[in-house]
Amino acid sequence: SIQSNYTRQLAFACNKLGLETFLFLFNPKGEKDYSIQGNLFLDLLSGAHVKIIKSDLLHITKCCEKLKEELSIKTGKKIHIMRSTEEDLALEAIGYTNCGLELYKQLNELQIPADYLYVSSADTTQAGLVVANKYIDAGWKIVGVNATGTIIDAKSNITKISNNIFKILGLKTNIRVEEIVNFSEYAGEGYGLMSPEGKKAIEIVAKTESIILDPVYSGKAMACLIDHINKGKFSKKENVVFIHTGGFSAIYAFSDEFDYSNNLIIDDKKIFFHIK
């Protein structure tokens, strides 16, 4: 979507490598998405070529393939479509395998055993963590939250990517789809849209922990965690680690949905506050 963390990071990473970037983004919020805010602003700041399409996530692949063909003929350069092959996805996911190994080391140093990991993911992020968990036998129960809803079959994706990582790393083991825990029911009305529960989770964490979550991904994952806490899914002895996948810059594009205009006091004579 227009507020994708992935495309924003990709554009700036390509700048470091001297690569030209073309981004296809779809607008789940309609006309509101044309406001240059959050990650869209950063995409443009990076100098990436950005095209907004009035379609859905699945149509973007066709747009990329068409552009690749056109640019190859016009420029003679090698064009690569990101996330277009199974190897691409597995190599990306290894970044979160490293994350899992680093997290395991830090928890051991702090002498804090983790029982659960909660993270927003529909593919590579959870897959990388699953591989790390299996490799070091950490014993974590990894809970993923699919922010796309039903667009992506997260469990199958994560299983396939995890097993491809094992092959790339030369590890003689595998993961079965039954071992993957991932929830899609916290996506709200769909990918790129803030859910009411996600909004509430963002406000709770900002006001209690001074941590900013984003409306597209981590806010929905936190909504899931809060719901599971309220349902008594954890004992007092169990430790839960929430992995913040970043992206808080996207929150500015959703400021109108928070509607804090009534909280802002403007008075040219005096400043006063209503204390509850």
Encoded tokens for 204: 């709770």
The CA–CA distances, whole Å, from 114 to 111, 130, 244, 265 equal 10, 14, 16, 44
Residue 57, burial from CB neighbour count under 10 angstroms (0-12, 13-18, 19+) = middle
Whole-structure pTM value = 0.89
Report the DSSP beta bridge partners of residue 141.
116
Identify the CA nearest to 157 among candidates 172, 146, 169. 146
Spatial distance between the Cα atoms of 102 and 201, rounded to a whole number of angstroms: 27
Residue ranges and CATH numbers for the domains of the chain are: 5-75 (3.40.50.1100), 86-257 (3.40.50.1100)
Q: Is the pLDDT of residue 173 over 60?
A: yes
- Beta carbons of 225 and 204 less than 8 angstroms apart: no
What is the average per-residue pLDDT within 201-213?
97
- Beta carbons of 98 and 129 less than 8 angstroms apart: no
The pLDDT of residue 150 is: 79
Identify the CA nearest to 245 among candidates 152, 166, 145. 145
pLDDT tens digits, residue range 248-274? 888 988 888 988 877 777 766 555 555
Identify the CA nearest to 133 among candidates 95, 98, 93, 100. 100
The CA–CA distances, whole Å, from 40 to 2, 107, 270 equal 6, 35, 38
